[in-house]
Amino acid sequence: MEGMVAKWYATNTAKSLDEFTRLARRIGSQLPPGSTVLEVAPGPGYFCIELAKLGPYSISGLDISHTFVEIARKKAAEAGVQVDLRQGNASNMPFTNDVFDFLLCRAAFKNFGQPVRALQEMCRVLKPGGRGLIIDLRHDASPESIGQHVDAMGLNAVNRILTRLAFRFMLLKNAYTKEQFQQMLAQASFRSADILEADIGFEISIAK
Ligand X SMILES: C[S@@+](CC[C@H](N)C(=O)[O-])C[C@H]1O[C@@H](n2cnc3c(N)ncnc32)[C@H](O)[C@@H]1O
Interface residue with ligand X among 42, 130, 132, 201 (CB under 6 A) is 42
* Contact residues for 62 (Cβ-Cβ < 8 A; gap 6+): 38, 39, 40, 41, 42, 86, 87, 88, 90, 93, 94, 95
The stretch near ligand X (CB under 6 A) out of 64-72, 124-132, 143-151, 188-196 is 64-72
* Contact residues for 2 (Cβ-Cβ < 8 A; gap 6+): 65, 67
Interface residue with ligand X among 7, 13, 86, 116 (CB under 6 A) is 13
Question: Least Å distance between CB 94 and ligand X?
Answer: 11
The stretch near ligand X (CB under 6 A) out of 75-83, 107-115, 119-127, 176-184 is 107-115
Of the pair 59, 62, the CB lying nearest ligand X is at 62
Of the pair 25, 191, the CB lying nearest ligand X is at 25
Interface residue with ligand X among 49, 81, 90, 204 (CB under 6 A) is 90
Q: Are 93 and 39 in contact (CB under 8 A)?
A: no
CA 53 from centroid of its chain's CA atoms: 18
Of the pair 130, 201, the CB lying nearest ligand X is at 201
Q: Are 87 and 111 in contact (CB under 8 A)?
A: no
Q: Give, as ranges, the residues between 155 and 174 that touch ligand X (CB under 6 A).
A: none
Closest to 81 (Cα-Cα) out of 50, 35, 112, 106: 50
* Contact residues for 59 (Cβ-Cβ < 8 A; gap 6+): 36, 37, 38, 39, 48, 51, 52, 82, 83, 84
Question: Least Å distance between CB 192 and ligand X?
Answer: 23
CA–CA separation, 189 vs 184, rounded Å?
11
Interface residue with ligand X among 21, 89, 159, 174 (CB under 6 A) is 89
Question: Least Å distance between CB 171 and ligand X?
Answer: 8
Residue 146 contacts ligand X per CB under 6 A = no
Residue 62's beta-bridge partner residues?
Answer: 40, 86
Interface residue with ligand X among 108, 133, 146, 200 (CB under 6 A) is 108
Rule CB under 6 A: which residues touch ligand X? 13, 41-43, 62-65, 68, 89-91, 106-108, 111-113
